Amino acid sequence: MQVFPIPPAGGRGIIWFFIIIIVVLMGVTLMLGWAAWSTRNSRAEVSPEGLKLVGDLWGRTIPLDQLQLDDARVVDLRGEPDLVPRRRTMGTALGGYSAGWFRLRNGEKTLVYLTDRRRVVYIPTRDGYSLLLSQSAPGRFLDALRNATRGG
Neighbours of 112 (CB within 10 A): 23
Asked if the structure places residue 37 within a domain, the reply is no
Are β-strands 60-62 and 50-54 bridged in parallel, bridged antiparallel, or unpaired?
antiparallel
Instruction: Kindly state the DSSP code that residue 68 receives in the 8-state scheme.
Output: -
According to the model, what pLDDT value does residue 152 have? 62
DSSP letters spanning 82-93: GGSEEEEEEEEE
Q: Would the pLDDT of 37 be above 80?
A: no
> Which amino acid, 4?
F
Q: Is residue 26 part of a domain?
A: no
* Residue 141 belongs to domain spanning: 42-149
Q: Is residue 16 part of a domain?
A: no
Per the CB < 8 A criterion, the answer to whether 135 and 115 are in contact is no
Question: Per the structure, how many domains does the chain have?
Answer: 1
Measured between alpha carbons, how far is 46 from 133 in angstroms, rounded to an integer? 13
Residue 53 inside a domain? The answer is yes
DSSP code, position 75: E
Please check whether residue 35 lies inside any domain of the structure: no
Nearest-angstrom CA–CA distance, 139 and 126: 22
pLDDT in tens, 40-65: 778 899 999 899 998 777 789 999 99
Instruction: Flag whether pLDDT at 20 surpasses 70.
Output: yes
**pLDDT given for residue 34 in this prediction:** 76
Domain-located, residue 131: yes
Which pLDDT score, from 0 to 100, does residue 41 have? 74
